[in-house]
Amino acid sequence: MELYTIHTGGFKLDGGAMFGVVPKSMWNKLNPADEINMCSWAMRCLLVQEGNRLILIDNGMGDKQDPKFFNHYYLHGNESLDRSLKKHGFTRDDITDVFLTHLHFDHCGGSVKWTDDRTGYEVAFKNAIYWSKKEHWDWATNPNPREKASFLAENILPIYESGHLKMIEGDGSKQLPFKVMVVNGHTEGMMLPVISHKGKNVIFCADLFPSRWHIGMPYVMAYDVRPLESMKDKERLFAEYANENTVLFFEHDPSAECGTLQKTERGGIALKEVFSLQEVFGK
């Protein structure tokens, strides 16, 4: 097995929304906001190569929305999904599986693209199976008022209509070369891949820990539909994986790809150190 970091670009979100009830006087020291309270974040994905399978975990925002939509998120940086794949010697056509942690637009927008004549949509990875979970798919295709703006039909329905969609069953280990942990605080049925690699468990954190700063228990996004459940999700992950063999992979942290956990003197859990995926696994 080989793991590759895939960068799809940077974007901005409101700092207060990202840090929830934590006061700005605290979080602004971590990820300083600009003059309109926006902070920079990454859209960092993970590519898993196992045998003849090439599995892309999430795929960023994509490029098919109109300028008005993108203007809300201040896209920046020179990185893109295609350039990042090319850096590692791959193209979209090489992808055999697209695993979607959840269907918010900044995680699945790259799943679907315009047709060549721009009259409709088609899957962006024509040779891939797309993986979701029934509970979350049903949640996303019948969106609640709170999340409706994050579940865009053009990102989701063409996957089903193409015939490329399959659903994860159980912990996913019979269908994919890793297992998944299901958490329900951020959104119903979000899946965190837990990848066993070179003696370590690499956890793709999605929006449970969007950054290293969200490891602290009070640091729960205002976007989460069940904040108290998010805290329980954290506790559950800590109980099983807060050890030296766990590597957290951060999808949205603007600079830190990965981190490890440690127990504090008071019995809590805190960040120990940060590093790149390459630093811990090579290549």
Environment class of 211 (CB within 10 Å of its CB; exposed 0-12, middle 13-18, buried 19+): buried
CATH 3.60.15.10 given to domain 2-281: yes
Convert the pLDDT of each residue in 17-30 to its tens digit: 999 999 999 999 99
Q: Where are the domains of the chain?
A: 2-281
Dump the DSSP string for 101-151.
S---HHHHGGGEEE-TTSSSEEES-TT-EEEE-HHHHHHHHS--TTTTTTS
Question: Is residue 176 within 8 Å of 55, Cβ to Cβ?
Answer: yes
Q: What are the angstrom distances between the C-alpha of 129 and each of 74, 169, 224?
A: 31, 15, 28
Give the predicted TM-score (pTM) of the model: 0.96
**Mean residue pLDDT across the chain:** 96
Question: Is residue 184 within 8 Å of 233, Cβ to Cβ?
Answer: yes
Convert the pLDDT of each residue in 185-200 to its tens digit: 999 999 999 999 999 9
**Confidence check: pLDDT of 209 > 80:** yes
- Model confidence at 267, pLDDT cuts 50, 70, 90, reads confident
Residue 155's φ and ψ, nearest 5 degrees, are -85, -20
Question: Is residue 192 within 8 Å of 101, Cβ to Cβ?
Answer: yes
Given this model, what pLDDT does residue 244 score? 86
Strand partners of residue 97: 55, 129
**Confidence check: pLDDT of 149 > 80:** yes
Question: Is residue 100 within 8 Å of 107, Cβ to Cβ?
Answer: yes
When pLDDT is averaged across residues 230-239 and rounded to a whole number, the result is 96
